[in-house]
Amino acid sequence: MIHPEDDLSTLEEARARLYKPGAAVPDPREPLAGRGERSLRHEWEEPADLAQYSQKGERHVRLAGMFFVGAFVFFLIALSGAGYLFYFEGNSVSVDKIAVSIQGPTTIAGGDTVPLSLTITNQNPVAIENAKLEVDFPEGSRNPSNVLSPYPRYTEDLGTLPAGATITRSVKAVVFGEAGQTALLPVSISYNTSGSNAVFEKKTSYVLAISSTPLSISVDTLSETVAGQPLTLNLTVRSNASVPLANVILTGTFPFGFSVTASSLPSTNGSFSLGTLAPGATKTVRLTGTLSGQQNDEKIFRFTVGTAVSERDPTLSVKYMTQDAAVKLSAPFIATSVSVNGDTSPTPIITPKEFQSVTVSYANTLATSITDAVIAVTITGGAVDYGSIRTTNGFYRSGDHTIVFSKDTDPALVSLAPGAAGIGTFTFTTLPPGALPPAPTITFAISVSGTRVGQTNVPEAVSSLVTKSVKVATVVALSSSSRHSSGPFETSGPIPPRADQATTYSIIWDIANYGNAVAGGKVSAVLPGYVSYVGKTAGNGSFAYNESSRTVTWSTGDLAQGGRAQGAFLVSLVPSSSQRGSAPQLTGAPSFSGYDRFAGTQVSANAAPVTTETVADPGYTSDNAVVQ
């Protein structure tokens, strides 16, 4: 038999009990235990329902711990590997362990061949691969095998360098530059390591100081001129090289408004061919022209010296030096010029302890008259004997060393009509060589002032100032003597000399430089036909003898200020019977020549011919010099 309640689900039974009338509602709150009925559960009494959860928790904790331990061990392994790579394997790519040593000159003259020795050492514990060496040279550098060929960079593949290997390479280049310039030569070494595509690069550099250029150029001209007035430029090219330089070219870039009216050398498109310059030789190009432009305009002249591609191709191939000259245009109302001893060049050269004559010329260049004109010339410089200054038509103001030409000394300066001109003169003496300062220069500052009358007859004060410099050249003294018993050589032969018998003599030349440094000094003299050059020499410098011209030449080298040099050589005299009773010459009159570096001019000196009169020998008497 099936009961109806069997069909009720558990939920329906619970609902029936809940809504049954009169059913008691159970209190979910448990009553507090009494004082004596409290009981505590012991820790070891674990409810059955919690035990299963405890077992599952233990499994989760055990798995997490194992994961943590594994992660920690992996971290230690990775850290150890990274440390090993950092402290050991990492050195194989360290550029700090590629050592580069560069040996070579630190100072050169422009145009010299620079030899460099590069030593490269691989201090890494592993080999480096695909090593490549590069050396960059300054702009304008040339191949030493062909000076006309540019040589901007040296490159070489070095291949593989084993650990600890050292290689050396020699690199040469012809480096150019201006005097005082510092040239930087970057050097780099790039390479790879085995198993890596990374490119490492070691960089360093080498510094060269350029002391001089093979060819130098100086421009001597006025710093100010008047538009339309003649302007002269003296361009001096000097060879500082130790060998002759061929196909020397001077090129000029002229400012707008300059017109050439005269030139000492023919030019082609502003280029002048100077040919071949010997060591120490100079050539001067004199240009004259006029400038047009506005007042206060500054005109820039630029000149470059170098060598041409070939004798037939005057194109400038190698540039040695560039020199600029700035000329400012002014509009003076009174044109003035100064000549020293008749020399009107921009920088005259004078000599020590000499009487100097100065002429100041002036002219009114305006279309109106100038009244109360004053021309004042102030002299400065340590080479002037100020007590010797004299003037005829001016007044010397000794307080500031100024010669003043005004209406008080020259009535013509009361009023200068348009185009009117005049002159003022004064004289002075330069100090002797021993009293001159280094690089002695005298400067004349010419100031002009006056009153210009305009078209409206309104007075207008005007003034201007120009300067002119004079250089004092050095003085070189040359002396010569002969000796027999006291010279630097062992001599032979009879004294007094006898006809048809040989007697040897020491010829002594002495040089003393009292002023500026002198370059390329030389002394030369011609031997008479009865005197032979033995070939023994002593002293400073070097000697040479030309058989065809019978000329003895002594190269003294450079002479510093106050420098001295002495040279000696041995000759043999075989007098003729026709010379009996005379003291024959042993050499002709010796002469000295050299280049004054400061004054920029040649200097010379002469001495008397040397005879058999050996006055410097002990016990000398005049009878000892006469041929018997």
Domain identity same for 442 and 355: yes
Domain identity same for 193 and 225: no
**Does residue 14 lie within any of the structural domains?**
no
- Distance, CA of 355 to CA of 386 (rounded, Å): 12
Q: Identify the helix (H) or strand (E) that includes residue 148.
A: strand 146-150
DSSP 8-state secondary structure symbol assigned to residue 473: P
pLDDT at site 138: 85
Q: Which residues of 106-126 are buried (b: 16+ CB within 10 A; e: fewer)?
A: eebbbbbebebebebbbebee
Domain identity same for 440 and 499: no
Residue 20, sorted as left (phi over 0), alpha (psi -120 to 50) or beta, turns out to be beta
Contact 627, 580 (CB under 8 A): yes
- Distance, CA of 96 to CA of 551 (rounded, Å): 64
Domain identity same for 487 and 621: yes
The domain of 199 spans: 96-212
Domain identity same for 399 and 304: no
**Does residue 7 lie within any of the structural domains?**
no
Backbone phi, psi, residue 137, to 5°? -105, 155
Listing DSSP states for 235-249 in one string gives: EEEEE--SS-EEEEE
| Counts for the chain of helices (H) and strands (E), in that order | 2, 39
Q: Virtual CA dihedral for 74, 77, 78, 80, nearest 10 degrees?
A: 160
**Does residue 291 lie within any of the structural domains?**
yes
**Does residue 76 lie within any of the structural domains?**
no
- Distance, CA of 307 to CA of 241 (rounded, Å): 13
- Sign of torsion, CA 319 324 325 328? positive
Please report, for the domain that includes residue 424, its CATH number.
Answer: 2.60.40.1530
Contact 389, 399 (CB under 8 A): no
Q: Virtual CA dihedral for 571, 576, 580, 585, nearest 10 degrees?
A: -30
Which residues have a Cβ under 8 Å from the Cβ of 211 and sit 6 or more positions away?
107, 108, 109, 179, 180
Domain identity same for 550 and 608: yes
- Sign of torsion, CA 261 265 268 272? negative
Burial category of 456 from C-beta neighbours within 10 Å (exposed 0-12, middle 13-18, buried 19 and up): exposed
Domain identity same for 224 and 191: no
pLDDT at site 369: 86
Domain identity same for 383 and 502: no
Domain identity same for 519 and 561: yes
**Does residue 3 lie within any of the structural domains?**
no
Please report, for the domain that includes residue 289, its CATH number.
Answer: 2.60.40.10
- Distance, CA of 450 to CA of 335 (rounded, Å): 13
Domain identity same for 154 and 283: no
Which residues have a Cβ under 8 Å from the Cβ of 389 and sit 6 or more positions away?
379, 396, 398, 401, 403, 426, 427, 428
Mean pLDDT by 10 residues, the chain (628 residues): 51 65 53 48 50 54 71 76 52 79 86 88 91 88 77 91 92 79 89 86 90 85 75 90 81 91 88 88 92 84 87 78 86 82 90 94 84 93 95 94 94 90 95 89 90 55 72 94 94 95 97 92 96 95 95 94 93 96 96 94 95 94 94
**Does residue 19 lie within any of the structural domains?**
no
**Does residue 27 lie within any of the structural domains?**
no
pLDDT at site 463: 54
Of 189, 212, 235, which one is at a domain's C-terminal end?
212
pLDDT at site 216: 86
DSSP 8-state secondary structure symbol assigned to residue 610: P
Counted domains in the chain: 4
Q: How many residues does the chain have?
A: 628
- Distance, CA of 132 to CA of 153 (rounded, Å): 13
Domain identity same for 199 and 254: no
Of 161, 188, 212, which one is at a domain's C-terminal end?
212
Of 296, 330, 364, which one is at a domain's C-terminal end?
330
Domain identity same for 100 and 114: yes
**Does residue 251 lie within any of the structural domains?**
yes
